[in-house]
Structure 1
C-alpha cells in the first residue's frame, strides 16, 4: 500500500465533492474540476475527511493509489485556495503585457510573442517584468508556465531569460581574456 495514499484529505467547508460512476467532481469558489478514478480504487467520505481505498491488491493498483490521492488533494486545494506561479523576466528590453486573453512577450526577438491564455487561468503583469499566474488546476497551470518559459530559458552566462520566482541559476565563467 502507498504511504501517501493512506493519508486522508481534509475537506474545507466551502468545497462540495460528488463521486458517481468512477468520476469525482470537486466544486469550490474558484471553479469546478473533474477526474476519472480507476475502478480498482474507491473514494470514501467520513466526517469531512476523504480517503482513497484500494479494492484489490495488484501491483499496478498500489502504484496509482498515491497518485490519485495526490491528484484529488490538489483539486480540493485548487478550488478552495488556488495555485500561483510567479515568473520573472530577466534581460534588457524584456517585458510582458496582457490584452484580453492574449499574453504578449517582448523577449529580444524581431517580433513580439503572443500566447493565448486558457479560460481557467488568470494572468496579471506586475511592473512589466513579473508575471503572476493563478488557477485552480495545478497541472494546467504548470504546463502553461512551462510553455511561457520555453520561449527564453535562463542561460548560464549572463542569467537572461524567464525564471520562476526564487530560482537560482548556476552561472558559468566566460572566456578569460589575454
Structure 2
C-alpha cells in the first residue's frame, strides 16, 4: 500500500480542478496547469478532494500510484501558492542582477552571462549574491534553477560558484607541502 498515494489531494478554495478521463486540470489565481496520467491509474474528484487509485494490483500501477498523486498535488499547489527556489552565489566578484527580462550574471569569466527569463517565471535578486526563482510550475522552476546553477557549479576546494540555498558543499583539503 502506498503511503503517499492513499491520501487524497485537498483542493483549496479559489482553485478549480477538472478531471476529464486521465487529464487533470487545475486553474487558480496564478495560472492554469494540467497533467495527463497513465492508464493504470484511476483519478476522481469527490467532496472537494482529488482521489488517485491504481486500477489493478500490478507492480507498475502500484509504483505509479504515489507519483501520479504527487503530480496532481504539485499542479494544485502550484496554481494556488506557487513554488520558490533560492540560489546563492559565492566567490569574489561573482554577482547577479535582473535587468528587464534578463538575468545578468558575472561569474569570473571574461564576459557577463545574460540568461533570458522564461515566461511564467519571476526572478528577484535581493542581494547581488542571492537569486530567488518563483513560478507556478514546479518542473520549470527546478529546471531554470538547474540551468543557472550549471553555469558555474560550486567547486569543492574554495566553495566558489552557484549553489542551492539548502545545498551543502563537501569541502576538500588543498595541497599539502
Category of TM-score, reference length = shorter chain: over 0.9
Q: How far apart are the structure 2 equivalents of 1:100 and 1:3?
A: 45
Q: How far apart are the structure 2 equivalents of 1:59 and 1:128?
A: 49
Whether contact under 8 Å (2:83, 2:135) holds in the other structure is yes
Q: How far apart are the structure 2 equivalents of 1:40 and 1:173?
A: 51
> Residue 57 of structure 1: CA displacement?
2.5
Taking only aligned residues, the RMSD between alpha carbons, in angstroms, comes to 1.3
Contiguous gaps of at least 5 residues in structure 1: none
Matches within 5 A, 1:45-64: 45-64=45-64
State the TM-score, normalized to the length of structure 1. 0.94
Q: How far apart are the structure 1 equivalents of 2:40 and 2:170?
A: 45
What residue is the counterpart of 2:161 in the other structure?
Answer: 161
What residue is the counterpart of 2:90 in the other structure?
Answer: 90
> Residue 55 of structure 1: CA displacement?
2.0
Deviations 1:122-141 (A, max 9, x none): 10111211100001111111
Matches within 5 A, 1:15-164: 15-164=15-164
Deviations 1:2-25 (A, max 9, x none): 222111111101110011142111
Q: How far apart are the structure 1 equivalents of 2:122 and 2:87?
A: 13
State the TM-score, normalized to the length of structure 2. 0.94
